[in-house]
A and B are shown apart, each in its own frame.
Chain A
Amino acid sequence: QVTLRESGPALVKPTQTLTLTCTLSGLSVSDTGMCVTWIRQPPGKALEWLARIDWDDDKYYTTSLKTRLTISKDTSKNQVVLTMTKMDPVDTATYYCARIRLVGPYIDSWGQGTLVTVSS
C-alpha cells in the first residue's frame, strides 16, 4: 500500500524558512520512474503546484516561487524534503506531497496534507 505523510511545523514566523518532510511507505524515492511533488492550498482557495523531484534527482519548480523553493530527497530515510525561504502570511496553506505517475503524467497518490500558518 502506497502512503505519503507530510510533517513539519504548524506555525512559522514571517521571514523564517519552512522545512517540510514527506515520508513515503510502500514505494521508494529511488525507484525508477518515481516522481514526488509538493502542492499547496491556501484556506478556501485553489491548488497550487510547487515543485517536483524525480528518481534521478532532476528537480523542477513553479516559476513564481522558484527563487524560494528547494526540493531534495534522502534515500536512506525514503523522504522528500521541501524548503521555502522568506515565509509570509500569504504562504499560509495546507501543503500536500504526492506521487506523480509519469505514464500520464498525473498525480495518483496524495498525503493527507499539513496546515502551515505563517504568523508572528
Chain B
Amino acid sequence: EIVLTQSPGTLSLSPGERATLSCRASQSVRSDYLNWYQQKPGQAPRLLISGASSRATGIPDRFSGSGSGTDFSLTISRLEPEDFAVYYCQQFDNSIFTFGPGTKVDIK
C-alpha cells in the first residue's frame, strides 16, 4: 500500500504570500491518480486538483499542482483569507485510495 507523507505539517503565512505544499509517496504514483483537497473547519473536503495538475471546476488559478513519480506539490500563488485551511493529497492505486496526513496553512 502506498503511503503519502506531507510537509510541512503546518505552514504559517500571511495573506498575499506564496504557499508551497509537498506530498511525497512511498512508491511511484501515476500522475493521473494524484489529487489535492482543501478542508475548512466543520466542512467536508473539496476537490482542488485532480491528475496532479488539473484544477477542478470553479477553483481559482492561484492554485496549481505539479509533480510526478513520488514527489508532488501544491502551490497557492498569493494566499487569500479564504485559503487558510488544511490541504490533503490523495492517491489511487490498486483500486484503493489513501490520503496524506495533511498540511495546515494558517495565518501568521
Could you say which of A8-16, A77-85, A110-118 contacts chain B? A110-118
A46-B88, A60-B95, A105-B92 known; A111-B33 Cβ under 8 A: no
In the complex, which residues 18-32 of chain B have their Cβ closer than 8 Å to any Cβ of chain A?
32
Which residue of the partner chain A has the closest CB to B92?
A105
Q: Is B67 an interface residue, CB under 8 A from the partner?
A: no
B35 and A104 contact, CB distance less than 8 A = yes
Q: In the assembled complex, which residues on chain A have CB atoms less than 8 Å from the CB atom of B102? A: 46-47
**Is B96 in contact with A104, judged by CB distance below 8 angstroms?**
no
Q: How large is the interface on A (under 10, 10 to 19, 20 to 34, 35 or more residues)?
A: 20 to 34
Provided the pairs A47-B99, A52-B97, A104-B32 are in contact, do residues A63 and B47 lie with their beta carbons within 8 angstroms?
no
Chief secondary structure at chain B's binding surface: strand
A108: which B residues are within 8 A, CB to CB? 47, 56
Taken together as a complex, chains A and B put the C-alpha atoms of A48 and B99 apart, in Å, by: 6
* Centre residue among B37, B50, B100 by max chain A CB count within 10 A: B50
Interface size class of B (residues with CB under 8 A): 20 to 34
**CB nearest to A97 among chain B residues:** B44
Expressed in whole angstroms, the minimum distance between the Cβ of A47 and any Cβ of chain B is 4
Q: Which of A71-110 contact B (CB under 8 A)?
A: 96, 98, 104-108, 110
Instruction: Note all chain B residues with C-beta closer than 8 A to A39.
Output: 99
Contact check, A104 vs B44: say whether CB atoms are below 8 A apart. Answer: no
Q: Using a CB–CB distance below 8 Å, which chain A residues touch chain B?
A: 37, 39, 46-49, 52, 60-63, 96, 98, 104-108, 110-113
- Additional pairs, 6, CB under 8 Å, beyond known A52-B96, A108-B56: A52-B97, A61-B96, A63-B1, A104-B33, A106-B35, A106-B92
